[in-house]
Amino acid sequence: MLEIQHFVTTNLDHGKVVGTYSVDLSAAFNLLRPEVFFEALRTPIPPDLLNQIMDFLSFKKFQVQVNDSKSSYRDQKISCVQSSILGPRLFTLYMTCFCELQL
C-alpha cells in the first residue's frame, strides 16, 4: 500500500495524471461454490488431490445462537473456510482457473 501511495504522490507532484482501480474482495470467499470450483479445476489438478480439496470445501454445517437459543444445523452450500491457511490459496487458485476458462 505504501508503494502505491508513493507512486501516486510522486507522479502528482510532477504534474502527471494518475488513475487507480481497486477491488474489494473481502467477501469473495463467501461466493465460492464448490461445484464451480470442481469444474474449473477438473483438468489442471490430479483427481485424488481434487477430491481432497472438494471434501475440504463441501459438507459444512452451521448453527446460529442468539442468547441461549440455538437453531438447528443447516448445510452451508457456498463459501470457503476463511480461517484456514488453505482457504486463501484455494480462492486464488479458483480465481486463476476460472478466469482462464472465461478467456
Kindly state the helix (H) or strand (E) to which residue 94 belongs, with its residue range: helix 86-102
- 55 inside domain: yes
pLDDT tens sequence across 49-97: 888 888 777 777 888 999 999 999 988 776 666 667 777 787 777 777 6
DSSP state of 67: T
pLDDT tens sequence across 7-56: 889 999 999 998 877 776 666 666 667 777 777 777 777 888 888 888 77
Is 0.75 topped by the overall pTM?
Answer: no
Residue with the bigger pLDDT between 100 and 103: it is 100
Count of the separate structural domains present in the chain: 1
Do residues 31 and 77 lie in contact, with contact meaning Cβ atoms separated by under 8 Å? no
Q: Which amino acid is at 39?
A: E
- 11 inside domain: no
- Which range of residues forms the domain containing residue 68? 24-102
- 70 inside domain: yes
Q: 41, exposed or middle or buried, with CB in 10 Å at 0-12, 13-18, 19+?
A: buried
